[in-house]
Copies of this chain bind each other. A is one copy, B any other.
Amino acid sequence: MRQNPTLKKIAERLNVSISTVSRALKDHPDISPETGRKVKELAELLEYDPNPYAVNLRTHSSKEFAIVVPSLSNFFYHSFISSIEEEARIYGYSVMIYRSSNDPTIEQEILKSCRHKRVSGIFIAITSETDNMEPFLKMDVHGIPVIFFDKVPQYESCNKICVGDEHAAMLAAEEIIKKEIPNVLGIFGDQNMSITKARLKKFATVLQQNGNDINLKTVHACSSAEAEQITWSLLPDWVGKKFTIFCMSDEILAGVMKAIQRKGLSTPTDLGLIAISDGMIPQLFYPEITYAETSGSNLGKLAFNRMMRCIAGSSFAQTIIDESKLVVGGSI
């Protein structure tokens, strides 16, 4: 059970004081080149690294970010995290990943832990049931910037980075119009979610305004299984017509695809299919599914920039929307 080397050890071996070693290691001007060299050599040899606990206790800063997500099995979050990690590494920060399991209680615990650890900042996608802003405001009081991403609260004055729900919905709708599809079945998520409302509204509006009397039917499903079930029961009415299904999210898409396969139908011959997705699931099928991409890595870059501004002192809140792009497969 060996100990890590400390400033003290180095100081003793070199017959200098601890402060000298500390300063030498960070190129303080008070230190002569000679001493500086010797200290750094020995530190290198001993593989010295400052004890982060001691440093933090002294300086109250941790040089690490926390990312909190409801779930990890999610391609979108994965690319978001990758993106943040990449940037953070450049700036000498490390990042810790927390999983709230979509449970507000666990979310609270994580938040508290972050506060005590005095993380430099938090990126968080809140749970669907988070309604109390108070703990987040408390972080601010403690000087810890919070950047919300993807799942963000209603609350106005905070930093939010979101995918462009409207824009993605518009891209999908425009593609449908372009293909001159007369009938559209739109399958959306939970009616109460703001993301559902935003996507639905924009999608319907664009179709109405630009499409010459397209027949649009919309339904809602709260889970993958429900989406499958609904699609399964609705398909008989549509088959034969020229129509396209629009899936609001990956979860919906997964269910819809199962129903389609189960009916023995295939895209784009029997029906068209278009979705809003992060790109993972669309690539599992042949032909690949055309989708409006919600890019986690884009969002990551934007969020990180915002974070660095906050740390630099910018205090005003801002909402940033990332526009998406259409990835053309062969499903429509």
Using CB atoms and an 8 Å cutoff, list the residues of chain A in contact with chain B. Answer: 1-2, 4, 49-54, 56-57, 71-75, 77-79, 81-82, 85, 94, 96-99, 101, 112-113, 115-118, 141-143, 254, 257-259, 261-262, 264, 266, 280-281, 284-287
Contact = CB atoms under 8 A, between A and B. Distances in A.
A115 B112 CA distance: 24
B4 A116 contact: yes
Given A94-B113, A254-B284, A284-B257, A142 B4 contact: yes
A50 to B, nearest CB: 8
Given A99-B85, A258-B284, A281-B284, A117 B52 contact: yes
Contacts of A112: 49
Contacts of A96: 96-98
B97 A97 contact: yes
Contact of A280 (B57, B73, B261, B285): B73
Contacts of A118: 53
Contacts of A71: 78
A74 B71 CA distance: 12
Contact of A4 (B1, B56, B115, B285): B115
Contact of A259 (B57, B254, B286): B286
B72 A78 contact: yes
Nearest to A78: B73
A258 B286 contact: yes
Given A4-B115, A259-B286, 5 more contacts: A2-B142, A49-B116, A53-B118, A73-B280, A85-B99
Contacts of A113: 94
Contacts of A82: 99, 101
Contacts of A261: 266, 285-286
A54 B51 contact: no
A99 B286 CA distance: 31
B1 A143 contact: yes
Contact of A57 (B49, B57, B264, B266): B57
Contacts of A74: 73
18 contacts: A1-B143, A4-B142, A53-B56, A53-B118, A54-B57, A72-B72, A72-B81, A73-B75, A73-B78, A73-B79, A96-B98, A97-B98, A97-B99, A257-B284, A259-B286, A261-B286, A262-B286, A264-B266
